[in-house]
A and B are shown apart, each in its own frame.
Chain A
């Protein structure tokens, strides 16, 4: 599905990712965990075209992502729920969803896709005419995921979906991840909430100072003493 090989990337002269390689199989959910500033968000941004890679290859179902213009990547079946949600705050929920469906090839299926996300998140239907910025954090995260799903992606990138949410809401966000998975999508998720994210993914990579340090199945990592010590404060 998604194949990232030897990617180096950064901002200007500052390099944030060093020789990163990872894979996500069809239908698989994979997490990238690591401390603050490890380059997790940079990795997501490179994959979805928000920033260019210096070297390396990224393939989505065998097609090169790095050779495509950034705004064409969503058309290749990849959607990205960015860090801090980044909803269009002044637009209504419905208008936000419309933006998720902006590309001309998606517009014909707008009604159908909207039905799909409303069925997945009935709360969004209740809020359809509400201005997005006035919703609660949890609802905004839901809306951001719904917006990403409008383009009918086969893989969803999620950058820190639980960040900035009240603890009681956080577990609901991980429920959303499971709901997305139940629809057969591949998921690549970046999280600081290691303990919880490992319960909803199949595998995880550990990113430290811009390099992938190790990987393992979710079960292995949950058992690992080292992980518990570094990320869960146990």
Chain B
């Protein structure tokens, strides 16, 4: 038994599992980024975040497959569309609830979840739609094959994380986004139009959902309920990292993806998820504030 276990650890497939876990982590990191940004800055949880991603996937699918737009332009249009959707979400719903009870904010964005899902069902139907794009696999060695789409997703996620970090730490606007998360009321004295800054942040958050949509639509079929399959994981990653803490979310994304991959390697893939959720619950008992405590 033990000998088998040790042998399995050094198997080539295990290395492949680790690499796949790493690649999946990149995708998770991107998924959690927008949600964390919005929560960290505006202090509102967008329960409908995964549904915004779903609508982004549909946008890309229809522009590319039905209208024949080259994928790269369809992807850019998808990001623009979700960015607009993020802007509208804040403008039409959240801006009126900034001083409301958190539970009312949750109910409102939860309502948006069903609105987006229902609208997608009515407009697009319930069929699973596939982009039909396959980039194939990359042979790293004789035995290790990596999915090219996952590799691209990883590189894009990494780039986005670095760019966003630079933006937040170096630019006036980025510094203001960090500042407003610490003290909203005082921003007016700095000459900042807080309404505009919130709208801008929401548009960026929406745009990040669009980027996630680009990477997901390359790997998964799109259907109105796809948000349910990764929405909960996205929330758990954010909560595990410390809600609103982007670095914590980044870390938690890799903890989750590794647990899923490694758990899936020793048993069925579903057991990987079970393992990840059990660890999540254990961490919540030990550190309810998340791996890295959320901003004070």
Residues of B269-295 whose CB lies within 8 A of A: 295
User: How far, in whole Å, are A227 and B296 apart by their CA atoms in the complex?
Assistant: 42
Residues of B186-219 whose CB lies within 8 A of A: 186-194
A89-B182, A90-B182 given as contacts; is B175 within 8 A of A71 (CB)? no
Q: How would residues 149 to 168 of chain A score, 1 for a CB under 8 Å from any chain B CB and 0 otherwise?
A: 00100000000000000000
Q: Are B183 and A88 within 8 A (Cβ)?
A: yes
Partner of B186, one of A72, A79, A86, A95: A86
Chain A residues bordering chain B, tally (CB within 8 A): 28
Q: Are A50 and B189 within 8 A (Cβ)?
A: yes
**Apart from the given pairs A86-B183, A99-B175, 18 other A-B contacts in the complex at a CB distance below 8 Å:** A48-B188, A48-B189, A50-B189, A71-B188, A71-B193, A82-B186, A82-B189, A86-B185, A88-B182, A90-B178, A91-B175, A91-B178, A91-B179, A99-B192, A100-B190, A102-B176, A102-B191, A151-B191
User: How far, in whole Å, are A79 and B41 apart by their CA atoms in the complex?
Assistant: 25
Q: How would residues 83 to 111 of chain A score, 1 for a CB under 8 Å from any chain B CB and 0 otherwise?
A: 00010111100010011101100110000
Size bin of chain B's contact surface: 10 to 19
User: How far, in whole Å, are A106 and B191 apart by their CA atoms in the complex?
Assistant: 10
- A69 proximal to B (CB < 8 A): yes
Chain B: CB-nearest residue to A76: B191
Q: Are B188 and A50 within 8 A (Cβ)?
A: yes
Partner of A99, one of B190, B193, B296: B190
> DSSP majority for the B interface?
helix
- A137 proximal to B (CB < 8 A): no
Chain A residues, Cβ within 8 Å of B175: 91, 95, 98-99
Q: Are B189 and A80 within 8 A (Cβ)?
A: yes
Chain A residues, Cβ within 8 Å of B186: 82, 86
15 A/B residue pairs, CB under 8 Å, sorted by A: A48-B189, A71-B194, A74-B189, A75-B191, A82-B186, A86-B183, A86-B186, A88-B179, A91-B178, A91-B182, A99-B175, A99-B179, A100-B190, A102-B191, A151-B191
- B172 proximal to A (CB < 8 A): yes
Q: How far is the CB of B37 from chain A (nearest CB, A)?
A: 15
Q: How far is the CB of A159 from chain B (nearest CB, A)?
A: 11
Q: How far is the CB of A178 from chain B (nearest CB, A)?
A: 23
A70-B188, A71-B188 given as contacts; is B176 within 8 A of A99 (CB)? yes
Q: Are A79 and B189 within 8 A (Cβ)?
A: yes
Q: Are B182 and A74 within 8 A (Cβ)?
A: no
Q: Are A71 and B182 within 8 A (Cβ)?
A: no
User: How far, in whole Å, are A148 and B186 apart by their CA atoms in the complex?
Assistant: 12
- A49 proximal to B (CB < 8 A): yes
A71-B193, A98-B172 given as contacts; is B179 within 8 A of A49 (CB)? no
Chain B residues, Cβ within 8 Å of A72: 191
Chain B: CB-nearest residue to A86: B186
Q: How far is the CB of B270 from chain A (nearest CB, A)?
A: 40
User: How far, in whole Å, are A49 and B191 apart by their CA atoms in the complex?
Assistant: 10
Chain A: CB-nearest residue to B193: A71
Chain B: CB-nearest residue to A110: B172
Q: Are A74 and B190 within 8 A (Cβ)?
A: yes
Chain B residues, Cβ within 8 Å of A100: 190
Q: Are A103 and B191 within 8 A (Cβ)?
A: yes
Of the candidates A70, A75, A148, the one having the most CB atoms from chain B within 10 angstroms of its own CB is A70
Q: Are A102 and B178 within 8 A (Cβ)?
A: no
